[in-house]
Amino acid sequence: MKNPLPTAWLLFCACLVLIPLATIIAGFSEIDYEIWQFLMDYQLPLLFQNTLFLLVTVGFGVFMLGSTTAWLTAMYRFPCRWLFSWAMMLPLAMPAYVLAFTQLGIFDYTGVINSYFRDTYGIETFLPDVNNKWGLAIVLSLTLYPYVYLLAKSAFMSMGRRSLEAGASLGLSPWRAFFKVALPMSRPWLMGGVVLALMEVLADFGAVSIFGVETFTTAIYEAWFGFFSLETAKQLASLMISFVFILLALEQYSRGNRKFHRMDKSNHHTLINLKGISKWLAFAYCGSILVIAIIIPIVQLIAWAIQMYPSQDGEFAIAGWHSLIMSLVGAIVVAAVAFLVALARRIRPTMLSNALVRIATLGYAIPGTVLAVGVFAPIAWIDNQLIEFGMFTDSDILKGTLWVMLIAYIIRFLALGLSSVSSGFERIGHNLTEAAQSVGVSQFQTARQIYLPLLKGPMGVAMMMIFVDIMKEMPLTLMTRPYDWQTLSTIIFTYTTEGRFDQAALPALLIIAAGLIPIILFSKLQEKS
């Protein structure tokens, strides 16, 4: 008889995602007509308008920034090309909410530059206002374009010089060949990167809050903590889920159409030397993006941190300790769950197992505010049932505890851990398992003595990536944490909502430092491959 535990485990992990989703979708069972009348009259049209505006503008922004920088670094040789090749991914280490408050602190009306020209030369407004939807779209584009850059660069390097040669045969210049040949050939990859970036746009909470742009994420937070209506928050979340499902369908469609094949080494493309002003234009273009997205913000954050360090109180140290502990525990637990999911699929490689794994990894596509509502509601229901049956008298048994945060982290980041662990399993031949079984070794012993030692590398990578994402996660932590539990991301939210950008600098630098390490290691490994 086959062991039912692998399938039961996969079913349990799938239910961790299905229950919050079902809770959100069923949210329209109880409607507060007074609140919804207010939303229909004043907020919903604005929410749809702002959301669509950001999807369109940021989609165009990440497409242009990601595809053009990928084309330059993949096809041409110019000054510092070796540096830009991996450094163009560094904005991934900069959370959007950090870049948002840094850019406002520098370029806004009351920012460093305008204040300097106002005080020194009497120029009231030296730079135009950036605290608007267009400024937010620029910030999100600068933060998220690496999603497109990474996939586009892989596509362009796979094509080699074929696109240029095809363009030359049609009488096209190199840049016209880029638009007429290379972009159409790499459309599935570019579309996949854009869709991933747009998922992050939908999920963003910190940057839109700092810029004061109302979207579904801010509306869900306001409905819960402003109107004190969890039901309304669930209903808004269910509307937002429709956007997510559309983007998921587009992402799956684009993934299914990626059919590029790398050429063999003898036919691999060589870089084209840019000459004259062209090489310096390429250098200036890539360099200016990094300067605006990474260098200037970090320099400003360091200046603020040095200025404010003497006045930093114990709250910051406690928040840093909380972030470290939860990120470590979350990384270990999520990686362990990912290992067990990958192991169960390997033991029972059926269509049902694959379907359950796909469901269990849907959490990566659910925005943090939506997932927080979906997790909290059933936890609150369980609390009420326990109290009703007289098992407990406390009103907060499970909700408002670190356990809720941990469950939310498992749902949100399981896909991230599973991608690394599954790739490690694929490199372990089935002959090892068959040899172990032939000498009577149990499945538990096989997992402990064979799989775990061989998966130390992929497990380490998974834990590192999860650690960084939990460290910078804002809405999920903000909405599921205990009342008095502050982390680096939540303390940044507190400071920035009060306009104290300089006091948010030091925690922001720590989050960026944590994110830079895996980004640099990953980009170096990609260059070698």
The predicted structure's pLDDT at residue 126: 79
Are residues 195 and 56 in contact, defined by beta-carbon separation less than 8 angstroms? no
> How many Å apart are CA 406 and CA 104, to the nearest integer?
33
Q: Is residue 373 part of a domain?
A: yes
- Collapsing DSSP states into helix, strand and coil, what is residue 313? coil
Q: Which domain holds residue 20?
A: 1-30+312-497
Q: Is residue 510 part of a domain?
A: no
Q: How many domains does the chain have?
A: 2
Q: Summarize the confidence of residues 278-292 as an average pLDDT.
A: 95
77 - beta bridge partners?
273
Q: Are residues 450 and 339 in the same domain?
A: yes
| CA proximity to 287, closest of 98, 73, 103 | 73
Considering the chain, what is the average pLDDT of its residues? 84
The predicted structure's pLDDT at residue 139: 95
Band the pLDDT of 482: cuts 50, 70, 90: confident
Q: Are residues 418 and 457 in the same domain?
A: yes
Q: Are residues 51 and 149 in the same domain?
A: yes
The predicted structure's pLDDT at residue 182: 75
Q: Are residues 364 and 293 in the same domain?
A: no
Q: Are residues 298 and 420 in the same domain?
A: no
The predicted structure's pLDDT at residue 78: 94
Q: Is residue 336 part of a domain?
A: yes
pLDDT single digits (tens) 163-191: 666 666 666 666 677 777 777 777 778 88
Q: Are residues 2 and 58 in the same domain?
A: no
pLDDT single digits (tens) 50-105: 999 999 999 999 999 999 999 899 888 999 998 998 899 889 888 999 999 999 99
Query: Which burial class, exposed, middle or buried, applies to 72 when counting CB atoms under 10 A from its CB (0-12, 13-18, 19+)?
Result: buried
Q: Is residue 126 part of a domain?
A: yes
Q: Summarize the confidence of residues 520-528 as an average pLDDT.
A: 64
Check residues 254 and 135 and name the one with the higher pLDDT: 135
Radius of gyration of the chain (CA): 25
The H-or-E segment that residue 373 falls in is helix 368-388
Measured from the Cβ of residue 477, the count of other Cβ atoms closer than 10 Å reads: 26
> How many Å apart are CA 211 and CA 213, to the nearest integer?
6
CA 144 to chain centre: 9
The predicted structure's pLDDT at residue 405: 92
Q: Are residues 316 and 234 in the same domain?
A: no
The predicted structure's pLDDT at residue 417: 87
pLDDT single digits (tens) 337-376: 999 999 888 888 889 998 999 999 888 888 889 999 899 8
The predicted structure's pLDDT at residue 81: 92
**Does residue 224 have a pLDDT over 60?**
yes
Q: Are residues 296 and 318 in the same domain?
A: no
| CA proximity to 394, closest of 403, 384, 402, 404 | 384
Are residues 224 and 211 in contact, defined by beta-carbon separation less than 8 angstroms? no
Sign of CA dihedral 370, 376, 382, 388: negative
pLDDT single digits (tens) 13-53: 999 999 998 888 887 666 767 777 877 877 888 999 999 99
In CATH, what number is assigned to the domain containing residue 192?
Answer: 1.10.3720.10
- Residues in the chain, overall count: 529
